[in-house]
């Protein structure tokens, strides 16, 4: 796990930009505190920060060259099957040039690219972003893993092409900082920026499962090497019992692949099904497994540590619980906000940051359950979508109750107001067609509501045609009654834009590598060959996962309400953080001077926060806090 950066100068007059490689690389220090090196080979400069995981010797440092010196690579990630690929595809090469100089996956990838080019990308099992340069041809290849676990941003103009793992690093290449207000509008709908866009005009994210080829002519190729698709023709291939057996085998293999490490390894354990499955399987491959969970000292509604402890006791792991108070959040908020280098408002970033920080004191690699909900239908919205598609009498009653749910107090901070919030969203969604329902449930705010947040000068810079086109592009997979289309859309939107961004950013802020067995490509492809009835029904979400592993896990963790990784923001905002909100970041005079937000709308949000029906105002205020802190740091 590392950080990469680089620049391809398209004009000789741009060669002076190559000297910025060190300062761009230095911005990635936390992604790779073990080593940092750069190389300038006009017209290209490459930089690398290393977090040593496999082959921790300096021989495996980067930028890494082949034996001839013609080729060079900077690589971020892990290739789990690198030994098998080396034996299968490079054995004759090793016989010809001698044994590899390292025991690293980077060197294997380097020679695979030399021998096979982009063809080898589809063979890779793992997660990555890399830049591979051929000095003779002056050709640069950038590529990103199948599901977008590792980030890679780029900026292109007629002077050159800059790329990096993080925005704060790519800005060091001197690119213009011009806010994309169309993207900002979508940020306040979703609370994150959907890929491939970014907050700045001209800065894009290389899309998952894509590669880009750059020559002296500029970007000459932008192609996908893999495409996640639904396989309806395979829905009858396995009986349910066969599918359960296969899932156990594939998850077991995925976990075993991710146990390879030359540094201490453990696992996050939330008490949910997914992380519990990972721990149960990982325990088979180590004599002692460290597990870590996070809880809330004064908020039992959000605390799930008792379920994590039940799993830890079952598998006799060395378990550590971090119990957080509001003071803990206040202590860490600015560390989190300072690391966020473009607006990103998933509030569970805070506990993920603290969990990563504490976990790093014990280990360097953590397994997680990320991806299980998107792949196997584990979110509450999946249960709601399934119910709506059944067209039952109770659905009609809930839908008819919309005026009542609309009037009742709604919020996320206790069972009653959260129930009213869910009933309201269900009734609202039930009145919409499938695509619009998905978008409503994926959003915090409606587009029309977001319009009210901005002053007219900002709204004039929002390209509503582009907004609509991007929305339809996101929703293009939802076209029939196949429920897997909803899950595929989650993979392309929620997983890549929110969940994976959060985990990568907060773990890398603490120099911790996180591996996700549920996102093993063999597991994911298998999951999208299964019919929906294997994944969800009237009583169970993530049905096949729960029933395949039921005899391996404590009964207490099954069939309980799903919280996700939510945190008790409302109390915190009303008390400890109110001064920061009211007197600083959302202070009325500051809002007026800034000339981005409508002061009246912001005041209404603050009042709603203190009402008996805060609804999603808490999430929106958090999105505002994140943006305002970012704006002061990068734009003020």
Residues identified as active-site: 2
CA distance 282 to 286: 7
553: DSSP letter: S
168: Cα separation from own chain's centroid: 18
CB environment 622-635: b (16+ within 10 A), e (fewer): bbbbbbbbbbeebe
Q: H or E element: which one contains 293? A: strand 290-296
Burial of 604 (0-12, 13-18, 19+ CB in 10 A): middle
Among candidate residues 112, 49, 118, 51, the one with its CA nearest the CA of residue 82: 112
Contact 141, 132 (CB under 8 A): yes
- Match 């921790």 to its residue by tokens: 56
Give 378-404 as a DSSP string.
-SHHHHHHHHHHHT-HHHHHHHHTHHH
CB environment 143-169: b (16+ within 10 A), e (fewer): bbbbbbbbbbbbbbeebbbbbbbbbbb
* Radius of gyration of the chain measured on its C-alpha atoms: 24
Among candidate residues 275, 255, 228, 263, the one with its CA nearest the CA of residue 80: 255
Instruction: Evaluate the CA torsion angle 569, 574, 578, 582 in order and state its sign.
Output: positive
218 Rama sector, left if φ>0, alpha if ψ -120 to 50, beta otherwise: left
Among candidate residues 260, 257, 284, the one with its CA nearest the CA of residue 523: 257
Tokens encoding 588: 């009325």
User: What length does the chain have?
Assistant: 636
φ, ψ dihedrals at 345, nearest 5°: -120, 30
Cis previous bond, 43, omega within 30: yes
CB environment 462-472: b (16+ within 10 A), e (fewer): beeeebeebbe
316 Rama sector, left if φ>0, alpha if ψ -120 to 50, beta otherwise: left
**What pairs with residue 143 in β-bridges?**
130, 211
Give 441-480 as a DSSP string.
HH-SS-HHHHHHHB-HHHHTT--HHHHHHHHHHHTTT--S
Neighbours of 538 (CB within 10 A): 9
Among candidate residues 191, 184, 170, the one with its CA nearest the CA of residue 594: 184
Q: H or E element: which one contains 507? A: helix 500-508
């Amino acid at each position: 796990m590392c950080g990469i950066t680089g620049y391809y100068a398209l004009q000789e007059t741009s060669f002076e930009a190559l000297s910025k490689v060190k300062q761009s690389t230095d911005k990635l220090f936390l992604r790779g505190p073990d080593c940092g090196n750069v190389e300038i080979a006009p017209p290209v400069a490459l930089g690398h920060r290393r977090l040593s995981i496999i082959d921790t010797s300096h021989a495996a440092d980067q930028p890494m060259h082949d034996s001839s010196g013609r080729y060079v690579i900077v690589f971020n990630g892990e290739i789990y099957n690198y030994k098998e690929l080396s034996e299968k595809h490079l054995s004759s090469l090793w016989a010809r040039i001698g044994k590899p100089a390292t025991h690293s996956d980077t060197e294997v990838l380097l020679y695979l690219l030399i021998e096979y080019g982009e063809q080898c990308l589809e063979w890779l099992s793992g997660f990555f972003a890399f830049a591979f340069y051929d000095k003779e041809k002056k050709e640069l290849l950038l590529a990103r893993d199948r599901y977008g676990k590792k980030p890679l941003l780029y900026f292109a103009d007629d002077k050159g092409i800059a790329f990096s793992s993080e925005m704060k690093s790519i800005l060091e290449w001197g690119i213009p900082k011009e806010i994309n207000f169309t993207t900002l509008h979508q940020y306040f709908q979703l609370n994150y920026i959907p890929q491939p866009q970014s907050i700045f005009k001209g800065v894009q994210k290389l899309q998952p499962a894509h590669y880009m080829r750059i020559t002296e002519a500029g970007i000459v190729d932008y192609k996908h090497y893999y495409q996640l698709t639904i396989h309806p023709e395979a829905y009858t291939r396995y009986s349910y019992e066969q599918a359960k057996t296969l899932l156990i085998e594939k998850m077991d293999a995925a976990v075993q692949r991710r146990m390879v490490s030359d540094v201490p390894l453990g696992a996050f354990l939330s008490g949910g099904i997914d992380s519990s499955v990972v721990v149960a399987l990982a325990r088979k491959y180590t004599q002692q497994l460290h597990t870590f969970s996070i809880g809330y000292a004064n908020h039992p509604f959000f605390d799930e540590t008792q379920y994590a402890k039940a799993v830890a006791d079952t598998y006799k792991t060395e378990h550590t619980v971090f119990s957080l108070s509001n003071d803990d959040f206040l202590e860490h908020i600015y560390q989190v906000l300072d690391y966020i280098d473009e607006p990103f408002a998933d509030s569970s970033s805070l506990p993920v940051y603290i969990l990563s920080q504490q976990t790093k004191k014990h280990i360097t690699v953590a397994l997680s359950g990320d991806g299980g909900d998107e792949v196997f239908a584990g979110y509450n919205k999946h249960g709601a979508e399934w119910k709506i598609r059944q067209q039952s009498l109770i659905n009609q009653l809930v839908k008819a109750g919309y005026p009542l749910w609309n009037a009742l107090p709604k919020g996320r901070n206790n069972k009653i107001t959260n129930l009213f919030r869910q009933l309201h969203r269900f009734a609202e969604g039930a009145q919409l067609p499938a695509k619009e329902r998905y978008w409503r449930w994926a959003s915090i705010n409606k587009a029309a509501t977001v319009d009210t947040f901005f002053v007219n000068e900002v709204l004039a810079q929002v390209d509503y045609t582009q907004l609509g086109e991007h929305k339809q592009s996101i929703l293009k997979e939802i076209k029939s009654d196949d429920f897997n289309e909803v899950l595929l859309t989650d993979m392309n939107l929620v997983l890549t834009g929110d969940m994976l961004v959060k985990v990568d950013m907060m773990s890398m802020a603490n120099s911790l590598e996180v591996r996700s067995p549920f996102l093993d490509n063999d597991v994911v492809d298998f999951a999208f060959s299964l019919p929906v009835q294997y994944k969800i029904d009237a009583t169970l979400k993530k049905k096949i996962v729960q029933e395949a592993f039921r005899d391996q896990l404590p009964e207490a963790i099954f069939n309980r309400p799903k919280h996700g990784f939510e945190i008790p923001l409302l109390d915190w905002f009303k008390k400890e953080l109110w001064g920061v909100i009211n007197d600083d970041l959302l202070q009325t005079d500051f809002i007026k001077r800034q000339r981005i937000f409508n002061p009246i709308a912001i005041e209404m949000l603050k009042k709603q926060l203190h009402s008996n029906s805060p609804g999603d105002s808490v999430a929106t205020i958090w999105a505002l806090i994140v943006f305002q802190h970012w704006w002061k740091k990068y734009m003020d």
